[in-house]
Structure 1
Amino acid sequence: MKTSNRLESAIKKLYTAYYSNQLFPECCKQCAVGNILDKTDGWQHLSDYHGALQLNYIGRVHQNLGRKFNGYSPLELLQIEAVFLTACGYQLPLHHKNNKPKIPNDNDVLFDGLIAVIGFLCELDGVSNTMDYTKCFELENDSPKYELELSF
């Protein structure tokens, strides 16, 4: 499967963050978008609230100028973060009064967020979801439809 540079780079950064315990939903540098943008938090100025889907004035200016941040538009970045936070169990926008997971850095919580974000990134690029495991279980004439390639 041919993927874009932005997708491949984002997946590598998210994978690395997850396995090095540097993926944390409540930190603008360690959330999904923070990691995609090289652990920076400047993207937080594109909206008024962490997890919001509405661009503020600064975000609209960047969007209207066609600016991209590591290949993603301001609106795409907000959508990516919203997908991540929602999949992790947060009520949006992020606020201390809104619902959130009991243990935000729990591996299962973060994995759910990671899977959702990767699926959304694939959707943005118009490619099949790299994390879709359902094909492994498809049958044709009572036999597996696809052969699983294992390399040891």
Structure 2
Amino acid sequence: MKTSKRLEQALVKLYNAFHNNRLNPEDCTACAVGNILDNLDSWKHLSNEHGSLELSYVGRVHENLGRKFNGYSPLEILQIEKIFLEACGFKTPLCHYNSKPQNPTNKDILFKGLCNVVAYLCELDKTPNVMDYSKLFEFENDEPIYHLETFLN
């Protein structure tokens, strides 16, 4: 399957962050967007509230100028972060009295967040969800429609 450069780069960064324990929804340099944007925190100025879809003045300027950050518009950046935070169990926008998971860096929680983010990234690029394995289980007349090749030593 052919993917866009921005999608491929985002997937590689998220994959590496997940497996190298560098994914943390409470750290703007290590959350989904922080990793996609090379572990920088400058993107946090696109909104006044973390996890909000409302652009700040700075965010509106960048959006109106058509600026992209590693291929993503300011509104797409905010949506990616909101999806990630909510899938990880946070109530958005983030604030000290809103609910959050007890252990936000739990691998199961992070994986759920990543699955939702990847689905959205694929949707943005009009690409089938790379995390969707449902085709592997499709069958017709009790036989699988698709076959996996296995490589045994």
- Give the gaps of 5 or more residues in structure 1: none
**Which residue pairs with 2:111 in the alignment?**
111
Q: Deviations over 1:59-111 (max 9, x none)?
A: 00000000000000000000000110111011001111111111000000000
* Aligned-partner residue type, residue 37 of structure 1: L
SS of the equivalent of 1:52 reads coil
TM-score by length of 1: 0.97
Q: Give the paired residue count.
A: 152
**Which residue pairs with 2:129 in the alignment?**
129
How far apart, CA to CA, are the structure 2 residues paired with 1:54 and 1:141? 51
**Which residue pairs with 1:33 in the alignment?**
33
How far apart, CA to CA, are the structure 1 residues paired with 2:34 and 2:151? 33
How far apart, CA to CA, are the structure 1 residues paired with 2:40 and 2:145? 43
Residue 8 in 1 paired to residue 8 in 2?
yes
How far apart, CA to CA, are the structure 2 residues paired with 1:84 and 1:91? 11
**Which residue pairs with 2:141 in the alignment?**
141
* Aligned-partner residue type, residue 14 of structure 2: L
SS of the equivalent of 1:78 reads helix
SS of the equivalent of 1:28 reads coil
Sequence identity of aligned pairs in percent? 61
Q: Deviations over 1:6-65 (max 9, x none)?
A: 000000000000000000001000000000000000000000111001111110000000
Aligned-pair CA distance for 1:148: 1.8
* Aligned-partner residue type, residue 140 of structure 1: E
Distance 1:49 1:106, change over 3 A: same
Aligned-pair CA distance for 1:145: 1.3
**Which residue pairs with 1:94 in the alignment?**
94
Correspondence 1:36-51 to 2 at 5 A: 36-51=36-51
How far apart, CA to CA, are the structure 2 residues paired with 1:86 and 1:137? 29
How far apart, CA to CA, are the structure 1 residues paired with 2:150 and 2:128? 20
Question: Cα RMSD over matched residues?
Answer: 0.8
**Which residue pairs with 1:61 in the alignment?**
61
TM-score by length of 2: 0.97
Correspondence 1:10-25 to 2 at 5 A: 10-25=10-25
**Which residue pairs with 1:71 in the alignment?**
71
